[in-house]
Structure 1
Amino acid sequence: MARRKKGRAVHGWLIVDKPAGMTSTSVVNKVRWAFDAQKAGHAGTLDPDATGVLAVALGEATKTVPFITEALKCYRFSVRFGQATNTDDAEGEVIAESDTRPTDAQILDALPQFEGDIMQVPPKFSAVKIDGERAYKLARDDEEFEIAARPLYVEELKFVERVDEDHALFEMTCGKGGYVRAIARDLGEALGCFGHVEWLRREWSGPWDAEDGISIAEIDEMAKTEALDAYLRPVEEGLSDLDEVMCTPEGATRLRNGNPGMVYPANGVEYGDEVWASFEGKPVAVGIYKSGELHPSRVFNL
């Protein structure tokens, strides 16, 4: 006999405006506790000192996490010129310094090399795995190791403001797997002056803005009450980058059992497209559209 899961069957997204000083895992655990939810996860880690959008998925919404992970995200951050740190942010130890400072024109000239499809080496203090070990654990133990460069799509890297000689603000819109700390490090090297991230905020992620997020204090205040439930967003918001098709009644039944099911034609949807199907206002499945049928890859139990 299957063991009954502890907690409530809560389904949806909670958009948290993460404060500095908390890990992403701590935020997820806090949300899961506050809802007394059976299952929770997040769509894209933020460093402990970073703030901004952390989208927490509850229940069946966890099945949509990969689609938010793939979505574009926007970060605003400050770069401190003249210093490199071992963590590539302000929490680390200064390992190199320079008296050189770039002009605004030099900064603007350097930015295009960080846009488009680029290769990026993640920071040594990161969760990247090296032979089964997290890089940050190896770095803390002063182990010598190299991290291979990884592809990253940067839609835009914008120079926002020169705060003073030592500091400048930037905004970056990018795909999954990007490290803002690595951008600051590499920009400092390209400018011949070193650099690291002083602070970092994720302004938006996929369909969600930081200004719409709930604070940890508000979560604590409304924990385990219906007031907090009112902040829960629908599961299908995690599917905003996919087209929607409608199931026939028979198709919905077949899809819920994991079989291909009939769906109604939809404008712009073509053979082979990945879409999501709904029935009576609720998501039923995600899958591949083929000749009037959806072939499911994920099925929702709602």
Structure 2
Amino acid sequence: MARKRKGRDISGWVLVDKPAGVTSTAVVGKVRWAFEAKKAGHAGTLDPDATGMLPIALGEATKTIPYLGDALKAYDFLVRWGRATTTDDAEGEVIETSQARPTEAEIHAALPAFVGDIRQVPPQFSAVKVDGARAYDLAREGEVMELESRDLYVDELSLTACPDRDHARFHFVCGSGGYVRSIARDLGSALGCLGHVVTLRRTWVGPFDIEEAVALSRIEELARTPEIDALLAPVATALDYMPELRATELGAHRLRHGNPGQVLPGAVEYGDLAWASFDGQPVAVGRFRAGELHPERVFNL
């Protein structure tokens, strides 16, 4: 007989301003412990040394994570010119140097090639799987891999400052699967000066903005107290970009049992992805067809 998972049946989003020096998985574990939640997950890994927005889903909110997969994400990062590293960031060993330094005009001229639909090779130290193993595990063993390039949509890459001739700051907005470290590496290569990421901060993920995030230290302060629940954002927050349809009472009942359910007319077309609500709570996400929502995910709230 399967063991019953311990913890509270609590659902919602915890928007964490992740500090440097801790993995995303470790943050999820701390948040789950602090809320005494049965189930937790996160939307988009951040490197251990990166900071910023890490949305963590508890309970039924974990069912909305797949719908954030294609959401745009924004980053602010600092590049150091003149050095290539094994990890494409400041933690790695320097493997090549250059005395060349780009001008602001040269940087601006290089940026359009990195915007739109591009191909990107992940860093050697990344979570990409190679023959069933993680690339970063193979890289730690000294193996150099030829990783395949992957499609990436880049909505924006802009130069925001040049503090000195060795550094440049950028703002970056991309779709799923983007590596800021690869952008720094490839931009340095294109400019003929080499480059790697020094600091990286994620400022928003889809509907979640860093201004709404809470420090991990604050979560630890409130851990396992009644006050901590005030930090929860509603499950439906992750669905803000998706059309909402109001279910009828009978429709909500059918949807909760995994069946197509009647919804009131809304701003959707046949086949559109939408979510249904009843009495202010999300009931299901699915496809709209002929007055009904056909559920893909059902919420037990």
Q: TM-score interval w.r.t. the shorter chain?
A: over 0.9
Alignment partner, residue 299 of structure 1: 298
Which string of whole-angstrom CA distances, capped at 9 and with x for unpartnered residues, describes residues 79-102 of structure 1? 000000000000000000000000
Is the Cα–Cα contact under 8 Å of residues 73 and 202 in structure 1 kept in the other structure? yes
Alignment partner, residue 243 of structure 1: 243
Between 1:229-238 and 1:1-10, the stretch displaced more is: 1-10
CA RMSD of superposed structures (Å): 0.8
Which string of whole-angstrom CA distances, capped at 9 and with x for unpartnered residues, describes residues 155-196 of structure 1? 000100001000010000111100000000000000000000
Is the Cα–Cα contact under 8 Å of residues 45 and 54 in structure 2 kept in the other structure? yes
Q: CA deviation at 1:3?
A: 3.7
Alignment partner, residue 280 of structure 2: 281
Alignment partner, residue 39 of structure 1: 39
Amino acid at match of 1:38: K
The 2-side partners of 1:141 and 1:2 are apart by: 38
Give the TM-score of the pair, scaled to structure 1: 0.98
Alignment partner, residue 206 of structure 1: 206
Which string of whole-angstrom CA distances, capped at 9 and with x for unpartnered residues, describes residues 237-258 of structure 1? 1111210000011111110000
Q: CA deviation at 1:128?
A: 0.3
Is the Cα–Cα contact under 8 Å of residues 124 and 144 in structure 2 kept in the other structure? no
Q: CA deviation at 1:69?
A: 2.6
Is the Cα–Cα contact under 8 Å of residues 60 and 235 in structure 2 kept in the other structure? yes
The 1-side partners of 2:7 and 2:245 are apart by: 32
Paired residue secondary structure (1:230): helix
Q: CA deviation at 1:213?
A: 0.9
The 1-side partners of 2:171 and 2:99 are apart by: 25
Q: Which runs of 5+ in 2 are unaligned?
A: none
Is the Cα–Cα contact under 8 Å of residues 9 and 38 in structure 1 kept in the other structure? yes
Paired residue secondary structure (1:283): strand
Is the Cα–Cα contact under 8 Å of residues 67 and 241 in structure 1 kept in the other structure? no
Question: Identity, % of aligned pairs?
Answer: 62
- How many residue pairs get aligned? The number is 301
Aligned ranges for residues 211-290 of structure 1 at < 5 Å?
211-266=211-266, 268-290=267-289
Q: CA deviation at 1:228?
A: 1.1
The 2-side partners of 1:76 and 1:292 are apart by: 43
Q: CA deviation at 1:278?
A: 0.3
Aligned ranges for residues 124-163 of structure 1 at < 5 Å?
124-163=124-163
Paired residue secondary structure (2:220): helix
Q: CA deviation at 1:223?
A: 0.3
The 1-side partners of 2:208 and 2:44 are apart by: 13
Alignment partner, residue 64 of structure 1: 64
The 1-side partners of 2:113 and 2:121 are apart by: 14
Alignment partner, residue 177 of structure 1: 177
Q: CA deviation at 1:68?
A: 2.0
Is the Cα–Cα contact under 8 Å of residues 14 and 56 in structure 1 kept in the other structure? yes
The 1-side partners of 2:144 and 2:168 are apart by: 32
Paired residue secondary structure (2:108): helix
Alignment partner, residue 121 of structure 1: 121
The 2-side partners of 1:292 and 1:169 are apart by: 50
Amino acid at match of 1:148: E
Is the Cα–Cα contact under 8 Å of residues 17 and 211 in structure 1 kept in the other structure? no
The 1-side partners of 2:178 and 2:208 are apart by: 18
Q: CA deviation at 1:2?
A: 5.5
Between 1:201-210 and 1:108-117, the stretch displaced more is: 201-210
Is the Cα–Cα contact under 8 Å of residues 86 and 95 in structure 2 kept in the other structure? yes
The 2-side partners of 1:157 and 1:215 are apart by: 27
Alignment partner, residue 111 of structure 1: 111
Alignment partner, residue 99 of structure 2: 99
